[in-house]
Amino acid sequence: MSSTEKTETQVVAEIGADYKYGFHETEDYFFKSGRGLSREIVEAISEHKNEPDWMRKFRLKSLDYFMARPLPTWGGDMSGIDFDNIFYYIRPTEKQATSWEDLPPDIKNTWDRLGIPEAERKFLAGVGAQYESEVVYHKLQEDLEQKGVIFLDMDSGLREHEELVKQYFGTIIPQNDNKFAALNSAVWSGGSFIYVPPGVSIEMPLQAYFRINAENMGQFERTLIIVDEDAYVHYVEGCTAPIYSSDSLHSAVVEIIVKPRGRCRYTTIQNWSTNVYNLVTKRAVAYEDATMEWVDGNLGSKLTMKYPAIWLMGERAHGEVLSIAFAGAGQHQDAGGKCVHVAPNTTSVITSKSISKNGGRAGYRGLLEVGNGAHGAKSKVVCDALILDEESRSDTYPYIRIDENDVDIGHEATVSKIGEEQLFYLMSRGLSEAEASAMIVSGFVEPITKELPLEYAVEMNRLIQLQMEGSVG
Partner 1 sequence: MALLEIKNLHVALEEGTEIVKGVDLAIDAGEVHAVMGPNGSGKSTLAYALMGHPAYEITDGEVLFDGDNLVELGADERAQRGLFLAFQYPHAVPGVTVTNFLRSAINSVRKARAGKEDPIPIPEFRKDLLGKMEELNVTRELASRYINDGFSGGERKKMEMLQLAMLKPRMAVLDETDTGLDIDALKVVGNAVNTLVGPEMGALVITHFPRVLQYIKPNFVHVFYDGKIVAEGGPELADTLEADGYKAFIPDLAEAAA
Positions 332 through 361 that interact with partner 1 (CB under 8 A) = none
* Least distance to partner 1, CB of residue 8, Å: 33
* Least distance to partner 1, CB of residue 123, Å: 23
Separation CA 240–CA 386 (nearest Å): 24
* Least distance to partner 1, CB of residue 444, Å: 6
- Return phi, psi of residue 396, to 5°: -130, 120
Number of Cβ within 10 Å of residue 473's Cβ equals: 4
For residue 43, how many C-alpha atoms fall within 13 Å in the half-sphere facing its CB?
3
Binding flag, residue 402, partner 1 (CB under 8 A): no
Of the candidate residues 44, 78, 114, 426, the single one contacting partner 1 (CB under 8 A): 426
Q: Which of helix, strand or coil describes residue 21?
A: coil
Binding flag, residue 436, partner 1 (CB under 8 A): yes
- Closer to partner 1 by Cβ: residue 105 or 473: 473
Select from 82-90, 137-145, 331-339, 419-427 the region that touches partner 1 (CB under 8 A). 419-427
* Least distance to partner 1, CB of residue 166, Å: 46
- Element containing residue 336 per DSSP (H, E): strand 332-341
Binding flag, residue 465, partner 1 (CB under 8 A): no
The packing angle between helices 39-48 and 53-68, to 10°, is 150
Separation CA 197–CA 386 (nearest Å): 42
- Return phi, psi of residue 107, to 5°: -70, -40
Of the candidate residues 424, 458, 462, 470, the single one contacting partner 1 (CB under 8 A): 424
| CB 363, CB 413: distance < 8 Å | no
Binding flag, residue 12, partner 1 (CB under 8 A): no
Binding flag, residue 433, partner 1 (CB under 8 A): yes
Of the candidate residues 39, 425, 458, 462, the single one contacting partner 1 (CB under 8 A): 425
Binding flag, residue 101, partner 1 (CB under 8 A): no
* Least distance to partner 1, CB of residue 350, Å: 19
Classify residue 167 by burial, with Cβ atoms within 10 Å: 0-12, 13-18, 19+: exposed
- Return phi, psi of residue 440, to 5°: -65, -40
Positions 442 through 461 that interact with partner 1 (CB under 8 A) = 442-447
Binding flag, residue 430, partner 1 (CB under 8 A): yes
Select from 180-188, 305-313, 397-405, 441-449 the region that touches partner 1 (CB under 8 A). 441-449
* Least distance to partner 1, CB of residue 439, Å: 6
DSSP 55-118: HHHHHHHHHHHHHHSPPPSSSS--TT--GGG-B--EE-SSS-B-SGGGS-HHHHHHHHHHTHHH
The binding site for partner 1 (CB under 8 A) comprises 419-422, 424-433, 435-436, 439-440, 442-447
